[in-house]
Amino acid sequence: MTLKELAQALGLSPTTVSRALNGFPEVSEETRKKVRAAAEAYGYRPNMRARSLATGRAMAIGHVIPIQSGHEMVNPVFADFIAGAGEVYSGAGYDMLISIVPDDRQQQAYEDFRTKGSVDGIIVHAPRLGDKRIQLINDVGIPFVVHGRASDSGEAYSWVDMNNFRAFERATKLLLDLGHTRIGLVNGLEDMDFAIRRRAGVEAALRAAGLKVNDACFFSGEMTEHYGHRAMTEMLALPEPPTAVLTSSMIPGIGIRRAIRESGREIGRDISVIIHDDDLSYLPNGREDPLFTATRSSVREAGRAAATMLLDIIATGDHDPRHVLLEADLILGRSTGPVRAMATT
């Protein structure tokens, strides 16, 4: 059923039908009602392609998910982020276009989005150190919002981020307050922006307490269970192993827990662990009885915030950079405790 057919069936012109449905004032209330009823009855829905060709608005937002060539890893927070964003889009009548591309074809993906006219705006995921994408999209000239920040990008741009620095600084302070002085960090890949900020937060807290940073206890890698296990095992083999460990996600946290248990120690008693919890729906840390002490910030909420921001930028046409910095909650679980005198083997 097309507009024209609907118009014909009603004995009206396409113009009038279009206006009636889109709420223009040039049409009488009476006919508007008739048109609405007929549209409903015939199940008429405007063809989006035709409409957006005519209006120039695609009514769609593009998400570009980078895949790191080599590791082939999809960011695990991705599913929840777009679930949050998706809520906002569908509420506003927008579609969500997703493009999963290897690192080296990023630029292509952004340009395609714009020149092919398939989206009105873009969400950029997982910015890295030295990320050129932001400059790229700025050049392309299409509204966008970054999930996270690219520390060293000179450009001004809009972003939604979690306060990684503060979250990890606070978590470290908690450990310091519990008496821990040998603290390890099992971080994400350190060319990712969030990992850099988290490390900085830990280091700041340590320095503030007059402690020096022990490089042997700082790890950087892709956040898998095996990685957490390996890092923890290595640390436990040190002459003076850390008594507390922070890690960037629940998944390596599980590996850390396994390594601790395998060494005959007990988590929360012999060794304290704090994870960052993205509050993923399929990997809940637990509400009333959290597995891990954690800094928690819902990545789904971040998705909602980023989508809302982007739609607003598009609607208002106001491209001044905006920022939302989400603070993480510090959740006390069973994986932390005061330092024990004889934690070493």
* Residues forming the site for DNA (CB under 7 A): 1-4, 11-16, 18-19, 21-22, 26-31, 44, 46-47, 50-51, 53-56, 117
**Four-residue CA torsion sign, 141, 146, 152, 157:** positive
Between the alpha carbon of residue 163 and those of residues 125, 153, 195, 320, the distances in Å are: 16, 18, 11, 21
CB of 43 to DNA, least distance (A): 11
Specify the 3-state DSSP secondary structure of 144.
strand
Partner from a second copy, DNA, none binding residue 21, C-beta < 5-8 Å depending on class: DNA
Partner from DNA, a second copy, none binding residue 2, C-beta < 5-8 Å depending on class: DNA
CB of 105 to DNA, least distance (A): 22
Residue 73 within binding range of a second copy, rule CB under 8 A: yes
Partner from a second copy, DNA, none binding residue 282, C-beta < 5-8 Å depending on class: a second copy
CB of 203 to a second copy, least distance (A): 27
333 close to 286: Cβ distance less than 8 angstroms: yes
Sequential DSSP letters for 79-125: HHHHHHHHHHHHHHT-EEEEEEEEGGGHHHHHHHHHHTT--SEEEE-
Q: Which residue in the set 21, 92, 96, 204 belongs to the binding site for a second copy (CB under 8 A)?
A: 96
204 close to 164: Cβ distance less than 8 angstroms: no
Residue tagged 């050129």 (tokens): 132
CB of 92 to a second copy, least distance (A): 13
Residue 286 within binding range of a second copy, rule CB under 8 A: yes
Binding to a second copy, residues 227-266 (CB under 8 A)? 251, 254, 257-258, 261
Tokens of 77: 């927070």
Closer of 37 and 100 to DNA (Cβ): 37
Angstrom distance (rounded) from CA 299 to CA 174: 23
Within a 10 A sphere around the Cβ of 112, how many other Cβ atoms? 18
Binding site for a second copy (CB under 8 A): 43, 45-50, 52-53, 58, 60, 65, 67, 71-76, 78-80, 82-83, 86-87, 90, 95-101, 111-112, 115-118, 223-226, 251, 254, 257-258, 261, 281-284, 286, 291
